[in-house]
Amino acid sequence: MTPIKTLLGATALLALAAPALAQEVNLYSSRHYDSDDALYTAFTEATGITVNRIEADANELVQRMKAEGANSPADVFMTVDVGNIARAEAEGLLQPFASEVIEANVPAHLRHPDNLWTGLSQRARIIFYARDRVPNPPQSYEALADPAYKGQICIRSSSNVYNQSLLAAIIAADGAEAARGWAAGVVANMARPPQGGDTDQLRGLVSGECDIAVANTYYFARAMASDVAGLSAGIDGIGWVWPNQDGRGAHVNLVAAGIAANAPHKAEATALLEFLVSEAAQKQFAEANNEYPVLAGIAPDTHVMALGTFKADTETPASAFAAHAAEAQAIFNAVGWN
């Protein structure tokens, strides 16, 4: 594993220089990757600030913070997908931060417009297909609703936040009426009722249960890098499409984090966020978990790079995923996307 060294922002240096500070930060995280341990160890070594981590499902953490109220020990809330962190935002569980480091390192469309959260890494959600069965794969998300693909698509349930954010992005780009038509078209084209995670959708391509699947890129990259049962052995038969390259670009979602509304250690919380968008930490996100960095100039992992370069959707701000989340779920319910 790549050792992590970093230059910290002004807030982190303040934390180092102020002995009155508690020198700890309480992180509530829905990420469950062992590789993240190296990040927190490096942060502690660089700053002397101990990271106390509590891991659970995003919804569980939101409910815990609500129940704890003003006495919550949470300093930082970190989760996958903007839709999840938006739930904390909607409950008033986040507060704005001020950081020149984050503003310099993270593009504006990957941050909350009022600095309630920042993206830490990116995940592209794209189209995969069986090379030997699909001579003309869909080239856009909208094309997944084309009747030509009837009975061919595997995709997760509507309760999955990745799909909720994808539909929210389509609402933002195409409007609610078009988005509803799209969702109904995808339901009509499903090869099976939604089930399982992204890896299961990709396994469906190998087993022949479906011909087209929608999944986040890092699930595929993991299967390239290691032995994933039911997927890696047949991975050479899977092709991929970067959708909407002639238009707005491929949908990209985020791992995001913000400072808790009642954070007892706000300076340390800001220091942690600044560390996580530093060059060394961004390399760790890329190399250890097959994610795309938010910091420009950091190369993705070798297996991610094998997927090629692509145009990302920078026209639709990540905050729009949250803004249209409820409308997206209502559309899913209306069209029978279970």
User: What is the residue-level pLDDT of the chain in tens, covering all 338 positions?
Assistant: 334 434 444 444 444 444 445 599 999 999 988 888 999 999 999 999 999 999 999 999 999 999 999 999 999 999 998 889 988 999 999 999 999 999 999 999 899 999 999 999 999 999 999 999 999 999 999 999 999 999 999 999 999 999 999 999 999 999 999 999 999 999 999 999 999 999 999 999 999 999 999 999 999 999 999 999 999 999 999 999 999 999 999 999 999 999 999 999 999 999 999 999 999 999 999 988 889 999 999 999 999 999 999 999 999 988 899 889 999 999 999 999 99
* CATH classification (class only), 123-250+317-335: alpha beta
* E-only strand ranges, the chain: 24-29, 50-55, 76-80, 94-95, 118-130, 153-154, 212-216, 238-241, 252-260, 292-293
- In three-state secondary structure terms, 134 is coil
Hey, what are 241's tokens? 């499409």
pTM value? 0.88
The shares of helix, strand and coil residues in the chain, as percent rounded to the nearest 5, are 45, 15, 35
User: Cα separation of 243 and 214, whole Å?
Assistant: 11
DSSP string over 205-270: HHHTS-SEEEEEHHHHHHHHHS--TTTGGGGGGEEEE-TTTTTT-B-EEEEEEEEETT-S-HHHHH
User: Cα separation of 2 and 92, whole Å?
Assistant: 37
CATH of domain 10-122+253-299: 3.40.190.10
Residue type for position 135: P
pLDDT of amino acid 22:
59
Q: Which of 296, 299, 273, 270 is nearest to 284 (CA)?
A: 299
Q: Which of 17, 23, 59 is nearest to 272 (CA)?
A: 23
Q: Where in the chain is the domain with CATH 3.40.190.10?
A: 10-122+253-299, 123-250+317-335
| Residue in the block written with tokens 């559309």 | 331
| Residue in the block written with tokens 């060059």 | 279
